[in-house]
Amino acid sequence: MPAAHDVLRDDPDLGPLVEEHGELALDPADDPFERLVVSIVRQQVSMDAAAAIQGRLFDSVEMTPESVASADTEVLRDAGLSTQKVRYVRNVAEAFREHGYDRAYFADRSDDDVRDELTEITGVGNWTAEMFLMFGLGREDVFPVGDLGIRKGMQLLFEENLTRAKMRDIATRWQPYRSYASLYVWRAYEG
């Protein structure tokens, strides 16, 4: 989105990252259910471990709410999901089936409303809901301070340990494009 990149390009801290990495895109996922499952898989594991688990899971089970809800527990465990994450992905599958969740369902809901509704599902916390807002729905103004990469990237950019409140305060200058800003903060952390 040109306006987002114009705003961030003018920022003294993010501008150099925009120049270095170009205009990063924030596209909504083709399949919101699949994207939420990916966020569950990525909870509290390294990106490499998450990618391996995701690959095995997607090879083992069709990524539909019906298939995940009815999949044999051992198939899900063999893919690399912990017992707790098996429960979480099943909870997500049941919620999608029960509520008819899809992109249209969430289209007219505010970020806060989406976050509130999703975090009612056991296994979906704020971080997971924020990843869904950004990468599932393509929402432009999410700043996930609960994400380790965001916290580390902010520390590198500002050369100090910042509280989450201070990070949120700094990020207000990137509104209404904090999701795009997050993409650049992650790039700062990834080096």
Task: Examine the domain organization and report whether 18 and 82 are in the same domain.
Answer: no
The boundaries of the domain holding residue 18 are 2-26+143-190
pLDDT at 94 (0 to 100):
97
Residue 51 banded pLDDT, cuts 50, 70, 90: very high
Domain endpoint, select from 98, 115, 136? 136
Q: What is the CATH classification number for the domain harbouring 7? A: 1.10.1670.40
Q: Do 106 and 180 belong together in one domain?
A: no
- For 139-190, the pLDDT digits (tens) are 999 999 999 999 999 999 998 889 999 999 999 999 999 999 999 999 999 8
Cα distance between residue 138 and residue 134, in whole Å: 5
| CATH code for the domain in which residue 116 is found | 1.10.340.30
Cα–Cα distances (Å) from 26 to 5, 114, 183, in that order, read: 11, 18, 8
Mean pLDDT of 94-110: 95
Q: Does one domain contain both 175 and 131?
A: no
Please state the domain count of the chain. Answer: 2
**In a 10 Å sphere around its CB, with 0-12 CB exposed, 13-18 middle and 19+ buried, how is residue 52 labelled?**
middle
* Mean pLDDT estimate for the chain: 94
The set of long-range contacts for 108-115, using a CB threshold of 8 Å and a minimum separation of 24, is: 111/139, 111/141, 111/142, 114/139
pLDDT of residue 191: 75
pTM value is: 0.92
Confidence of residue 1 (pLDDT cuts 50, 70, 90): low
